[in-house]
């Protein structure tokens, strides 16, 4: 159905518009590329030639194909040249009145059967469509940046879009080698509606000085496998663009979580718009550069601590589960003597067997030597007696996520451990201060949240309470570095960094599904191909476990009392029904 597209038009030749031109021209379609004046036309031509030149240099495009591609493009500042196009896409700045004005003009230029498309990422397509005399032929065709690389395209159908028009555009997207996802005309569509709530939350976290920009970004990259941290991504998108998208989404949906964080507008007003201006949340080598350079906010190098560190040579671990076993291995491989405590001799032996298997697998994969394996095992001693932790320098508890159990354990550790020993909890959601208040040494208590599997995951969230001593924070940061982990530091509130940013986003995805706005498959596709995330939200929920996810979301809601954090009823219903994800064979999907 898409074969009738032999000539298309693109209005707006910024980075996105020029990328869309390239996509069409690469696929053998003639393109009329329009800008507002001759200078803008030349800038657009430069965008295109720079992109194709890079593709040639990387061996992804031959010189002959590059010449043919550019030969298919007619650059002009005259919109009248669009009269023979079967499809015209606008990619001008996100200003509703500007887009409506362009569509009204196009309506008088192109043939009656030509299709008009907008590349808007957040504005209502319906409002743009009604600026024409025939809104049935208007659709949204939202490409993602960089358009020649990103496979994902959101195809937006309004309540008046004709079915045949919509199908032709969807077919064209497939012809271009894209993966079209069908969505309704709702603010942010799929990808931006989910992405920008998450980005805005990260900005608020930074604005409140809860964590540094570096720690927020490192947490999401290392804890979730995201290709970029949220603040670096904001700089890439452009803070002015991000503000416009969030403001539009808020005005349409009135969701307070989409109300732009005040610091975004302040930074835009100050000209700190991200990479394109050379400064945003980070400072760059030059406007347009991706190279981050040090500024007054850059943290001091690891090891440069302002307070004396406590001596750590002997480590205690309480617990016998997967997390505890991983933590024991991490410390032993790093050269620390480790005493671990389990509830029964069978559990003690189970941990030792699991450690031996894990280290043997590391030997077979060439990740460690037989000598290193034997040395690590020799540093480990198991016991069923908490009293055997009397002379350790730090204790890390990794028992069940039950506050009553943890508080009782910390009472015991307070009585058993020597003065000055650090008491750490691996809790992922419970208040660390509640564990600290069970002791007479709250200054020595800290959160040390490893991620599973601890042997593999580089991230550790170092969580300080209002009582934690500075030297305890510095010592734990130093220990994390010495065992090969990347510490990020934050205050003691629900979710810490990773879960506080991740689970509201997952909850928003469930609400989107619940509203029948899109399918789980399309939402997952949108976030994986549109935002380059390693897993879609529903894939991730099924892996984490819907019961675990619901428990974390309830904690976040109770902590922040934010209406938007209230768990989606659909998630609660699935948990009630026993559909908990992969572990039960059914969650948002059915698993073999």
- Candidate list 22, 35, 94, 154, residue with the active-site label: 154
Task: Pick the closest to residue 197 from 265, 245, 141, 268 (CA basis).
Answer: 245
CA 163 to each of CA 90, 104, 112, 179: distance values in angstroms, whole numbers, following the listed order: 21, 22, 16, 19
Active site residue 553: no
Tokens coding 506: 């997952």
Quick one: residue 117, left, alpha or beta (phi over 0 = left, psi -120 to 50 = alpha)? beta
Give kind and range of the element (H or E) at residue 413. Answer: helix 403-416
- Candidate list 47, 142, 201, 258, residue with the active-site label: 142
Active site residue 142: yes
Contacts of 169 (CB under 8 A, 6+ apart): 87, 115, 117, 139, 141, 155
- Candidate list 119, 192, 261, 518, residue with the active-site label: 192
Active site residue 192: yes
- Candidate list 51, 119, 121, 200, residue with the active-site label: 121
Instruction: Decide if 139 contacts 120 (C-beta within 8 A).
Output: no
Give kind and range of the element (H or E) at residue 370. Answer: helix 370-378
Residue 398 CB coordination number (10 Å) = 25
Phi/psi at 143 (nearest 5 deg)?
-80, 160
Tokens coding 210: 């809860």
**Judging by DSSP bridges, how do beta strands 30-34 and 152-157 pair with one another?**
unpaired
Residue 592 CB coordination number (10 Å) = 4
Extended strands (E) in 133-257: 138-143, 152-157, 179-184
Active site residue 370: no
CA distance linking residue 450 with residue 146, whole number of Å: 35
Phi/psi at 52 (nearest 5 deg)?
-70, -35
CA distance linking residue 510 with residue 567, whole number of Å: 9
The catalytic residues are 121, 142, 154, 192
């Amino acid at each position: 159905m898409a074969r009738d597209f032999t000539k298309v038009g693109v209005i707006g030749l910024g980075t996105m518009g020029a990328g869309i031109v390239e996509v069409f021209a690469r696929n053998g379609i003639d393109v009329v590329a329009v800008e507002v004046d001759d200078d803008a036309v030349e800038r657009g031509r430069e965008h295109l030639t720079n992109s194709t030149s890079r593709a040639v240099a990387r061996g992804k495009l031959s010189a002959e194909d590059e010449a043919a591609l550019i030969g298919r493009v007619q650059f002009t500042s005259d919109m009248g040249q669009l009269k023979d196009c079967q499809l015209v896409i606008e990619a001008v700045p996100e200003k509703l009145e500007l887009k409506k004005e362009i569509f009204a003009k196009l309506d008088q230029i192109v043939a009656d059967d030509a299709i008009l498309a907008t590349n808007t990422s957040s504005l209502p397509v319906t409002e743009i469509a009604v600026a024409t005399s025939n809104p049935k032929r208007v659709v949204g065709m939202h490409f993602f940046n960089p358009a020649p690389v990103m496979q994902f395209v959101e195809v937006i159908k309004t309540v008046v879009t004709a079915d045949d028009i919509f199908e032709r555009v969807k077919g064209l997207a497939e012809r271009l080698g894209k993966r079209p996802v069908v969505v309704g005309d709702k603010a942010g569509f799929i990808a931006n509606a989910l992405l920008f709530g998450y980005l805005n939350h990260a900005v608020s976290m930074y604005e409140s000085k809860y964590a540094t920009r570096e720690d927020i970004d490192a947490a999401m990259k290392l804890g979730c496998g995201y290709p970029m941290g949220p603040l670096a991504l904001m700089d890439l998108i452009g803070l002015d663009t991000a503000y416009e998208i969030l403001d539009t989404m808020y005005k349409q949906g009135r969701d307070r979580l989409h109300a732009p964080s005040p610091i975004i507008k302040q930074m835009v007003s100050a000209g700190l718009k991200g990479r394109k201006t050379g400064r945003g949340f980070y400072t760059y080598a030059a406007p347009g550069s991706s190279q981050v350079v040090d500024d007054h906010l850059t943290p001091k190098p690891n090891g440069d601590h302002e307070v004396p560190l406590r001596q750590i040579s002997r480590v205690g671990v309480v617990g016998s589960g997967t997390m505890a076993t991983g933590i024991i291995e991490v410390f032993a491989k790093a050269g620390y003597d480790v005493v671990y405590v389990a509830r029964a001799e069978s559990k003690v032996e189970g941990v030792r067997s699991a450690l031996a298997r894990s280290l043997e697998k590391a030997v077979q994969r060439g990740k460690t030597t037989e000598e290193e394996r034997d040395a690590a095992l020799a540093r480990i001693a198991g016991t069923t007696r908490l009293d055997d932790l009397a002379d350790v320098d730090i204790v890390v508890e990794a028992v069940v996520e039950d506050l009553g159990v943890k508080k009782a354990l910390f009472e015991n550790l307070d009585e058993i451990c020597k003065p000055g020993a650090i008491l750490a909890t691996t809790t992922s959601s419970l208040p660390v201060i509640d564990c600290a208040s069970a002791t007479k040494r709250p200054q020595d208590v800290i959160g040390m949240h490893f991620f599973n599997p601890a042997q593999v995951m580089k991230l550790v969230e170092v969580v300080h309470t209002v009582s934690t001593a500075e030297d305890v924070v510095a010592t734990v940061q130093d220990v994390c570095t010495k065992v090969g982990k990347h510490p990020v530091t934050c205050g003691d509130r629900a979710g810490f960094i990773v879960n506080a940013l991740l689970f509201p986003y997952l909850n928003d995805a469930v609400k989107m599904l619940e509203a029948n706005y899109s399918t789980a498959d399309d939402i997952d596709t949108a976030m994986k191909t549109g935002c380059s995330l390693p897993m879609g939200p529903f894939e991730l929920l099924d892996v984490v476990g819907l019961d675990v996810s619901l428990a974390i979301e309830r904690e976040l809601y109770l902590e922040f009392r934010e209406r938007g954090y209230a768990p989606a009823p659909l998630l609660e219903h699935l948990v009630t029904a026993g559909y908990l994800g992969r572990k039960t064979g059914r969650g948002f999907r059915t698993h073999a």
